[in-house]
Structure 1
Amino acid sequence: MPTDATGGVGRRIAYYRSVVRPKLTQKQLADAACVALGTIRKIERGERGVTDDTLAAIAEALGVDPGRLRSDREPSHSQARDALPALSAAIAAYDLPEDGPVRTIGELRQAVDEAEAWRLGSQYTRLVRRMPDLLAELARAHQAAVGQERAVTAALLVSAYRSADAAAYKLGAHDLSARMIELMRWVTSEADDPLLGATVAYVRTEIFFAARAHAAGLRALERAIDTAPAPSGLDEFAARGALHMRAAVIAGRARDAAAANTHLQEAGALAERVDEDIYRGTAFGPDSVRIHSVSVAVSLGGDHVGQALDVAREWKPPTRLPGERRSGFYIELGRAQLWSGLADDAFESLKVARRIAPQHTRDHPWVREDASTLRRLKRADSESLTSFAEWCAAT
């Protein structure tokens, strides 16, 4: 339901944007919230209302609770987590969807693409609130589809499940995430697209990360690499490269330095064959491999941590990369800096991550752990650090 911007919402947004942390321009706020710049301008001037979804996205970008921006000042809990039960109910009825309208394939594809953009921008609140209806509609479309159209709706379902899964996983609902990944695996067989298997194998790694079953996850990825289609075009090179990139990280978590370096080298060689772009919903290219090299170094720990600092001294992730991936770079870098005794640099990296993708940063367990450690180490800088720690619920 739209909130009346003339009641003070627009003024409060402008205040938090320009005066309070994180001090953003209107363009930066629009980019972080995945909202049109013109919309931000009109809201701040009080020329238009703002829907709950848009307000939640703006609040996440500003790093404040949505209740602080509302006219009625009602307290607001995590709207994303509050919406998870509806998402769970939607996938429980994956084969028995309720009757309802079904848009054209073109319209459904547009809705799925929009959800993917939210995923890449770490807009988890929007995802969990919108995905239950979209998943139910796609289930109806798939159930009614015949012939080639069935393969098309299956592929759209895989992409939609992936977007919903990203929100569930990042919000800590790992059981729900695992159920959606199993549905992705189920529907992939009907999509008539060999590369979708590689996509699902990439996402399935979340289950192994959550269970800390890193060695098993590495085996699963290596099997997926062996069965992936032989590279013959950009999509195939990117799909195989993304699997190697993911395998390098989970090998690092398994403390298998030899496997991690081997997979990272394979990913780097494949990255030279493609431009940095989004392939099958995953960013892959030379920049993404650099980011994952930092992740591998941090995962291996010990003497490897210095390699992460070396990368960061010479390179920063470009803005064309998805916000979640760029924020992840700074979260990993912050941990490397903290372990290296660079507490001030670590805090700066966490603040950069927050500016890029607030919700991804706030819900990241490493951020909470490292903010707690920094808070204990840096009592002299208590105000800004305490504020950050409270924002991400660090203990």
Structure 2
Amino acid sequence: MDEKTGRRIAATRIARRMTQQQLADAALISLSTLRKAEQGARPITDRTLEAVAGALGVQADVLTGQQRPRTDSRVHAAIPAIRTAIDAYDLPDDGPVRPLPALHQAVEGMTRLRLASQYTRIAETAPPLLAELTRAIQDRDGGRRRQAATLLTAATRAADAVAYKAGYYDLSARMVELMRWAARQADDPLVEATAAYVRTETFFASRNLAPGLRALELALDQLPELTTVSARAAAGALHMRAAVVAARLTEAPACVAEHMAAARRLAAEVPEGVYAGTAFGPASVHAHEVSVAVELGDAARAVEVAAQPVGLDDLPAERRSHHHIEVARARLWLGLRDEAFDSLQEARRTAPQHVREHPYVRDILVTLLRLHVSPPHALVAFAEWARAI
């Protein structure tokens, strides 16, 4: 059992307002065993874990952080259909294909849902649209084929958001590869830049960040001259993400500064907006300044930047929600537990599905619970809603 499991046991016990002795008695284990388990100081057998979970009224996989998908979740229920839709992306069936304007409208709708973190609606509408776009990309007319490829890239990105947020990292990796394939068919460097941006998720999931940073820098090198707003926005987004990746690579602080400086320069020339499905502009760069400070472990800097009077209202809901989660992490590290919970509540008001699927949220909630002797009802209810306990 790892230390995180011990922290979840302690957090759930505190949320249930049980002492260690009461939980040990209810689980029929010794107080010493429970104390060492909560500290992560000794392994716990499956039998003991089940006993502790039963005494707490939860499933054992909640305590280990490996909650199984809920059978009543429409997102999880739709995953097999998404898999089927992309299995034969290069060998589509002979089904119908709507005209490109209609497909463009459908994909724009999917993108809006992604930016608003409406994962359930994406999951339910993605399979037939993905299947239709894999048929459309077979068009013999080069112009129509390239347009269909651009649309397939954007639709796959929306569906990938569902797979990644729900923890289906194998499916997410497959969808990233489909995005890259479709982007090459589009023959548009800005579409390929979008695929490179999203590809970073694969490296985040595997925690293999060095090649992720190289991939972003290669994508920057391959961009055309930044003579248009869209090109500058694409470059700025890649720089923002490269800065976050470099910040997680503790050996690359100079690289962090270089990428953030480049993003700031480009943001000064680009109004805040969504470009090729990615938000970029001054407010987006501001939010990434906070993320970079958090990744570098500089909580004071993160809170200082977050307090600057920069309007975030123009950002998509998902990005605003993520910003509030990052601020919550920083506030927690500074010992500002009430303020940290305030940030989580703001994140939830902004994009509830995004918050519920975010692993950092569960970690923050577990820590907040452990910091209380008698946690407030609102905190316990939030933790239960987020499946942190």
Range into which the TM-score falls when normalised by the shorter chain: 0.7 to 0.9
Name the CA distance, whole Å, in 1 between partners of 2:280 and 2:167: 25
Name the CA distance, whole Å, in 1 between partners of 2:373 and 2:361: 18
1:222 maps to 2:228: no
Amino acid at match of 1:260: V
Q: How much has 1:314 moved relative to structure 2?
A: 2.0
Name the CA distance, whole Å, in 1 between partners of 2:93 and 2:144: 20
In the other structure, the counterpart of 2:11 is none
In the other structure, the counterpart of 1:128 is 123
In the other structure, the counterpart of 1:183 is 178
Q: 2:295 aligns with which of 295, 299, 302?
A: 299
1:383 maps to 2:377: yes
Identity of aligned residues (%): 53
Q: 1:321 aligns with which of 315, 320, 335?
A: 315
1:241 maps to 2:236: yes
Q: How much has 1:121 moved relative to structure 2?
A: 0.3
In the other structure, the counterpart of 2:329 is 335
Contact 2:78/2:124, CA 8 A, preserved across alignment: yes
Over the aligned positions, Cα root-mean-square deviation in angstroms equals: 1.3
In the other structure, the counterpart of 1:37 is none
Name the CA distance, whole Å, in 2 between partners of 1:129 and 1:155: 21
SS at match of 1:83: helix
Q: How much has 1:98 moved relative to structure 2?
A: 2.8
After superposition, the C-alpha distances for 1:137-158 in whole angstroms (9 at most, x for unaligned) are 1111122342311111111111
In the other structure, the counterpart of 2:273 is 277
1:266 maps to 2:262: yes
Task: Work out which of the two has the higher radius of gyration on C-alpha atoms and give 1 or 2.
Answer: 2
Name the CA distance, whole Å, in 2 between partners of 1:325 and 1:96: 36
After superposition, the C-alpha distances for 1:314-364 in whole angstroms (9 at most, x for unaligned) are 235522210000000000000000001000000000000000000000100
Name the CA distance, whole Å, in 2 between partners of 1:122 and 1:292: 18
SS at match of 2:335: coil
Instruction: Give the TM-score, by structure 1 length.
Output: 0.79
Contact 1:317/1:326, CA 8 A, preserved across alignment: no
Q: Is there any run of 5+ residues in structure 2 with no aligned partner, and where?
A: 1-69
Name the CA distance, whole Å, in 2 between partners of 1:364 and 1:316: 25
Amino acid at match of 1:229: P
Amino acid at match of 2:215: A
Name the CA distance, whole Å, in 2 between partners of 1:238 and 1:313: 25
SS at match of 1:283: strand
Name the CA distance, whole Å, in 1 between partners of 2:287 and 2:198: 18
- In the TM superposition, structure 1's runs of 4+ consecutive aligned residues that sit over 4 Å from their partners are none
After superposition, the C-alpha distances for 1:232-288 in whole angstroms (9 at most, x for unaligned) are 010111111110000000111112222111111110011001100111110100100
After superposition, the C-alpha distances for 1:26-80 in whole angstroms (9 at most, x for unaligned) are xxxxxxxxxxxxxxxxxxxxxxxxxxxxxxxxxxxxxxxxxxxxxxxxx972211
Contact 1:217/1:250, CA 8 A, preserved across alignment: yes
Name the CA distance, whole Å, in 1 between partners of 2:312 and 2:288: 14
In the other structure, the counterpart of 1:287 is 283
In the other structure, the counterpart of 1:14 is none
Contact 1:278/1:284, CA 8 A, preserved across alignment: yes
Contact 2:150/2:183, CA 8 A, preserved across alignment: yes
Name the CA distance, whole Å, in 2 between partners of 1:124 and 1:193: 28
Name the CA distance, whole Å, in 2 between partners of 1:317 and 1:324: 15
1:156 maps to 2:159: no
Amino acid at match of 1:148: G
Q: How much has 1:290 moved relative to structure 2?
A: 0.6
Q: 1:25-36 residue pairs with structure 2 within 5 A?
A: none
After superposition, the C-alpha distances for 1:206-244 in whole angstroms (9 at most, x for unaligned) are 011111111221111111111111200101111111100
Contact 2:365/2:383, CA 8 A, preserved across alignment: yes
Contact 2:189/2:222, CA 8 A, preserved across alignment: no
In the other structure, the counterpart of 2:105 is 110
The alpha-carbon distance between structure 1 residues 76 and 319, as it changes in their structure 2 partners (threshold 3 A), is farther
Contact 2:286/2:310, CA 8 A, preserved across alignment: no
Q: 2:198 aligns with which of 203, 228, 245?
A: 203
Higher relative contact order structure (alpha carbons within 8 Å, sequence separation ≥ 6): 2
SS at match of 1:278: strand
Amino acid at match of 2:186: A
1:359 maps to 2:353: yes
Name the CA distance, whole Å, in 2 between partners of 1:328 and 1:145: 42
Q: Is there any run of 5+ residues in structure 1 with no aligned partner, and where?
A: 1-74
Contact 2:303/2:331, CA 8 A, preserved across alignment: yes
Q: How much has 1:166 moved relative to structure 2?
A: 1.2
SS at match of 2:279: strand
Name the CA distance, whole Å, in 1 between partners of 2:266 and 2:200: 20
Name the CA distance, whole Å, in 1 between partners of 2:305 and 2:234: 24
Instruction: Give the TM-score, by structure 2 length.
Output: 0.80
Name the CA distance, whole Å, in 1 between partners of 2:105 and 2:203: 31
Q: How much has 1:380 moved relative to structure 2?
A: 3.1
Name the CA distance, whole Å, in 2 between partners of 1:388 and 1:379: 17
Contact 1:375/1:386, CA 8 A, preserved across alignment: yes
Name the CA distance, whole Å, in 1 between partners of 2:100 and 2:227: 28
